[in-house]
Structure 1
Amino acid sequence: MELEHLFIPTVVLGSSDKIRSTLPIEGLNSSSWMRKLVEMMCSVFVASWTGVIKYHGPRPSTRPHQVFVANHTSMIDFIILEQMTAFAVIMQKHPGWVGFIQKTILESVGCIWFNRNDLKDREVVAKKLRDHVQHPDNNPLLIFPEGTCVNNQYTVMFKKGAFELGCAVCPIAIKYNKIFVDAFWNSKKQSFTMHLVRLMTSWAVVCDVWYLEPQYLRDGETAIEFAERVRDMIAARAGLKKVPWDGYLKHNRPSPKHTEEKQRIFADSVLRRLEES
């Protein structure tokens, strides 16, 4: 039976219509306290936007050999998901106050940072991911396999790293309603600070979150095919259009050699059509 939770803006309602307290309780160990504090901090952020967040499906559980993947519209995706469950997220290192929060607060829940421009960092991060999912005491691991923010109308190609861990993949579909504000963060045009200011000065941030059924690698299925199957599920549930683009092209220009090869293929096709006509 599907459970639904509605966040407006600092109270989470469950299927029993009882208020779930976000404050730590006695008897929790230090890691549990830290998880509750991070969840509460994220709830405060959501309240500052007058967030109206509706959660569908069972709340994620803490168990080994699983990873959660979601489509990506803004860094606030992490905050919206984190207020319900203290995920350990894999995230790009950031400067400024965001970097300060990463180092001083988010590392306490096991978050993993990477540098997109450091090729050696990929191997280190891949090892950390494999190690993380093996331990039952670690917080659930959350990955945004698109690798970049997309405008919540499309979904770009998923990176295969999350689908090569040999564990259950739990899809999460996120869909924002633009009725009051567009939650897409265009990092090329706006800093994250100004993005938050825009959200805080809007009427409300309205969003639906669906926790979908866990998926497993099928016999004979490659990691890329697995990633596409999960992307199909998320796109269908959130009403997103799939496009065959690599999201990293937003950050890195394609090499001249690759561009010239595409131009040559296009020129050859034009010449063939001219010869046939």
Structure 2
Amino acid sequence: MQSSPILFVSLDGTTFALLSTSAWLRRNLLDISPTLSEAASAIIDDSFTRCFKSNQTEPWNWNIYLFPLWCLGVIVRYGILFPISVFVASWTGVVRYHGPRPSRRAKQIFVANHTSMIDFIILEQMTAFAVIMQKHPGWVGLLQTTVLESLGCIWFDRTESKDRSIVAQKLKRHVECEDSNPLLIFPEGTCVNNEYTVMFKKGAFELDCTVCPIAIKYNKIFVDAFWNSKKQSFTMHLIGLMTSWAVVCDVWYLEPQTLKLGETPIEFAERVREMIANRAGIKKVPWDGYLKYYRPSIKLTEKKQQKFADALVSRLGDSVDWR
């Protein structure tokens, strides 16, 4: 039985036959050459799997000249870089930031209460601050001169009286430069136990610029973040923090403040200090934090003794009847 031809109708209405039914089936329905061609191309060049294949690293160190260099690299990677990675991973903390993120603007500084040198690390997570910091010896000093120097940080030595004028000039130049990192100042000048706030130094409030207060409050549920520098080195302080479960604290970015008309820099500093104290829930005390580093002078002691003696003599004189 012959298969009937397939009829095609052209656009002009004429009808003609091209192929028989069996020939059409063999050529179209039973033709698997496209499938075979696609499978063969996948075997020869699998472009999809190649996207997720890890390439084998070609060995470069198997010769007498490069093998010592490879051994040195192993020592550096496992003896130095790996411990540093573990050190960084040990900095576990729960930090909650409140308020708008700091932005870089001209004629603007940030001030915060001070509890430990880790205050700078916590605030540095939000923006790259340049900080004013006391010069430290040892590995902390090395870190200051090699890493923090690139941020435009300013160092001072509180035992050198001439450093005050030099630091004041550096502050003014830094604030006036628009390309500098935002300047962070801890106006207390020393670490306080986060329960109180001591007097703010007025130098940060004499720069004729906007002051952005930052309040930091640590939760002592796991560890006390206060660094008592008179009893503990910073290395031991870090070990205590790193071996705790976590450092927990809150950071508030408060509303920027400017010097009011008729307000002195000292009054301005006290107003900002009160804002920080109220927000962080810490108490204000009328003490200079630098007294922690200096013993009262002999003249000051004698003056206090003389004042007390005069008051005592006056009181005794009023109470004694000489008749």
Q: TM-score, normalised by structure 1?
A: 0.81
Paired position in structure 2 for 1:195: 237
Equivalent of residue 90 in structure 2, options 45, 48, 53: 48
Superposed counterparts of 1:22-171, under 5 Å: 48-171=90-213
For the residue of structure 1 that corresponds to 2:249, the secondary structure is: strand
2:287 is aligned with 1:245: yes
1:230 deviates by 0.5
1:45 deviates by 7.3
Residue-by-residue CA offset, 1:89-130 (whole Å, 9 max, x unaligned)? 000011111111111111111000001111111111100000
Paired position in structure 2 for 1:220: 262
Report the Cα distance in structure 2 between the residues aligned to 1:86 and 1:231, rounded to whole angstroms.
23
1:272 deviates by 3.4
Equivalent of residue 265 in structure 1, options 281, 300, 307: 307
For the residue of structure 2 that corresponds to 1:119, the secondary structure is: coil
CA shift in 2, pair 1:258/1:137, >3 Å? same
1:85 deviates by 1.1
Q: Which has the higher helix share?
A: 2
Q: Is the 8 A contact 1:45 1:79 kept in 2?
A: no
Letter in structure 1 aligned against 2:163: D
For the residue of structure 2 that corresponds to 1:183, the secondary structure is: coil
Report the Cα distance in structure 2 between the residues aligned to 1:82 and 1:144, rounded to whole angstroms.
14
State which structure, 1 or 2, has the greater radius of gyration over its C-alpha atoms. Answer: 2
Paired position in structure 1 for 2:219: 177
Report the Cα distance in structure 2 between the residues aligned to 1:129 and 1:256, rounded to whole angstroms.
34
For the residue of structure 1 that corresponds to 2:176, the secondary structure is: coil
CA shift in 2, pair 1:47/1:273, >3 Å? farther
Report the Cα distance in structure 1 between the residues aligned to 2:314 and 2:97, rounded to whole angstroms.
54
1:275 deviates by 3.8
Bigger RCO of structures 1 and 2 (CA < 8 A, at least 6 apart): 1
2:248 is aligned with 1:206: yes
Which consecutive residues of structure 2, in runs of 5 or more, have no partner in the other structure? 1-85
1:71 deviates by 0.5
Report the Cα distance in structure 2 between the residues aligned to 1:109 and 1:212, rounded to whole angstroms.
24
Letter in structure 2 aligned against 1:118: E
Report the Cα distance in structure 2 between the residues aligned to 1:250 and 1:109, rounded to whole angstroms.
29
Letter in structure 1 aligned against 2:298: P
**Is the deviation greater in 253-262 or in 128-137?**
253-262
Residue-by-residue CA offset, 1:60-84 (whole Å, 9 max, x unaligned)? 1111101111000011111111121
1:263 deviates by 2.3
Paired position in structure 1 for 2:62: none
Residue-by-residue CA offset, 1:119-174 (whole Å, 9 max, x unaligned)? 11111110000010111111000000000000100000110000000000111000
Which consecutive residues of structure 1, in runs of 5 or more, have no partner in the other structure? 1-43
Letter in structure 1 aligned against 2:276: I
1:276 deviates by 4.2
CA shift in 2, pair 1:45/1:136, >3 Å? farther
Letter in structure 2 aligned against 1:201: T
Report the Cα distance in structure 2 between the residues aligned to 1:171 and 1:178, rounded to whole angstroms.
23
Tell me the C-alpha RMSD between the 2 structures: 1.4
CA shift in 2, pair 1:197/1:182, >3 Å? same
Report the Cα distance in structure 1 between the residues aligned to 2:87 and 2:122, rounded to whole angstroms.
9
